[in-house]
Amino acid sequence: MKKIYILDTNVLLHDPEALFKFEDNDVVVPITVIEEIDRFKKDQNETGRNARHISRILDGMRAKHRLTEGVPLDTGGSLKVEIYREEFIRKLPPELQNDRGDNRILAVAMQLKEQCDCRVVFVTKDTNLRIKSDALGLAAEDFESDKVSIDELYSGTAQAMLSKEEVDTFYGQGFLDLSGEYLPNQFLTLVDEANPSHTAIGRYNKAQQKVLPLLRPPKDGLWGIHARNREQQFAFDLLLNEDIQLVTLVGKAGTGKTLLAIAAGLHKVSDEGSYARLLVSRPVFPMGKDLGFLPGDIEEKLAPWMQPIFDNVELLLGNVDERGKRKRGYKELVDLGFLEIEALTYIRGRSIPRQYLIVDEAQNLTPHEIKTIVTRAGEGTKIVLTGDPYQIDNPYVDSSSNGLSYLVEKFKGQELSGHVILSKGERSPLAELAANLL
């Protein structure tokens, strides 16, 4: 039996294409939702762009047929705009009869439930509104078309139980022919079945069906940074491999995601000259209460947001001597043209060729914003995204719906991409203890 899905404003602002993701069921948009979307259309951010997009979609539908009568969709269902009437809200409990947008939308949903014998489902990303709907006996769901369970997130690694001879063959010839259900660029720990302490590590090449040895940094490390655990060795292999154009590094605070990425980026740009520039960016989301507008030019405004990047670069530069006096800083790299720091706000519309692009704190981005960033990549560009899905400051995404988790899931079978989860904290014993206990 067909169902009726009633969409809340936040669903359409999150994904304007949500109208077409309910298969052959009927989709209803209350007129109050149209009114609320109109308030966002002039915003110069992702929400504003989505508001304008959904308005264009609905206007295109209007040209085909009257929206209040229902417009057939290619999926087999229909799209309808439902008009709100004053008498609808009087049927709600007294606490919900005030003239708020949420209550108007809820009143329309309850009215449709009374009128239709079919199943009516209210779809909203507002937790409290789902609770209110459930209390009124109305089925409510979150919009989950782009959700990825954080507990089932692809780790990028696996174990392969082999014979002693096969492990020795890998060491002897520098590769191992291996077939199996392994994913492209998945990191394998080759374990001797008879002696589990006899192991080797490598990266799986799906096209050749071979396990290849990891790329090793120079003996003195990358700008003085050495891998401290197995996952960091995996990360360096991805970061240094020019054939892998998209890298995702996921891990809790202190695992070295950003430091490793910047060290590898500086090595590829300044030492090897493989890329024209290291471009580092991060979304602008405050932790806790916002400080408001910041004075100064664009560089001064960005400074507080980009300070974690500056800290990592200056650590790599070794810019503090024994007496604590600064010897040099990140501005030296900027002046030489090796490094550029930029807010993601200005990346739309750009084409970025031959650059090593690092996007830090990518867990704060929506799937649509991630798509915008990755599609900026020009010829010869490598994109590295780092983040921790458990530390999200963006109120409109969570650990399952953020763009970083979404990207990992969508690209895990692609030859051009690689992924690894970093689990062991290396910042300090205190930071590791806090990440585990708090």
Question: For residue 23, which amino acid is it?
Answer: E
Whether residue 385 is found in the same domain as residue 280: yes
Question: What count of Cα atoms within 13 Å lies in the side-chain half-sphere of residue 41?
Answer: 12
Whether residue 277 is found in the same domain as residue 396: yes
Is residue 215 in some structural domain?
A: no
Q: Model-level pTM? A: 0.76
Is 335 strand, coil or helix? Answer: helix
Residue range(s) defining the domain that contains residue 350: 229-437
d(CA 9, CA 51): 10
Is 429 strand, coil or helix? Answer: helix
CB 365 within 8 A of CB 394: yes
Is 189 strand, coil or helix? Answer: strand
Is 35 strand, coil or helix? Answer: helix
Beta bridge partners of 387: 250
Mean pLDDT, residues 206-233? 90
Is residue 26 in some structural domain?
A: yes
Domain boundary among 124, 141, 158: 141
Q: Where are the beta strands (DSSP E) in 287-347?
A: 339-343
Whether the per-residue pLDDT at 407 is higher than 90: the answer is yes
Whether residue 237 is found in the same domain as residue 360: yes
Whether residue 317 is found in the same domain as residue 425: yes
Whether residue 125 is found in the same domain as residue 250: no
Whether residue 127 is found in the same domain as residue 241: no
CB 37 within 8 A of CB 9: yes
Question: What count of Cα atoms within 13 Å lies in the side-chain half-sphere of residue 388?
Answer: 16
Is residue 126 in some structural domain?
A: yes
Whether the per-residue pLDDT at 301 is higher than 70: the answer is no
Is residue 258 in some structural domain?
A: yes
Residue 290 or residue 206, greater confidence: 206
Whether residue 410 is found in the same domain as residue 291: yes
CB 411 within 8 A of CB 248: yes
Whether residue 279 is found in the same domain as residue 409: yes
User: Residue 148: which pLDDT band, with cuts at 50, 70 and 90?
Assistant: confident
Mean pLDDT, residues 82-110? 86
* pLDDT tens-place string over residues 113-143: 988 888 999 999 888 899 999 999 999 998 8
Is residue 211 in some structural domain?
A: no
In the prediction, which pLDDT does 291 show? 47
For the chain, the average pLDDT equals: 86
The total number of structural domains in the chain stands at 2
Residue 232 or residue 350, greater confidence: 232
For CA atoms 32, 34, 36, 39, the dihedral sign is negative
Whether residue 240 is found in the same domain as residue 134: no
Residue 95 or residue 272, greater confidence: 272
Whether residue 266 is found in the same domain as residue 401: yes
Whether the per-residue pLDDT at 415 is higher than 80: the answer is yes
Domain boundary among 141, 176, 209: 141
Neighbours of 148 (CB within 10 A): 22
Is residue 184 in some structural domain?
A: no
Mean pLDDT, residues 203-229? 91
Q: How far is CA 352 from the centre of its chain?
A: 19
Whether residue 277 is found in the same domain as residue 400: yes
Is residue 327 in some structural domain?
A: yes
Residue 39 or residue 434, greater confidence: 39
Domain boundary among 93, 118, 141: 141
d(CA 261, CA 419): 13
Task: Give me the CATH number covering residue 417.
Answer: 3.40.50.300
Task: Give me the CATH number covering residue 118.
Answer: 3.40.50.1010
Is residue 158 in some structural domain?
A: no
Whether residue 286 is found in the same domain as residue 423: yes
Whether the per-residue pLDDT at 159 is higher than 90: the answer is yes
CA-atom Rg of the chain in angstroms:
26
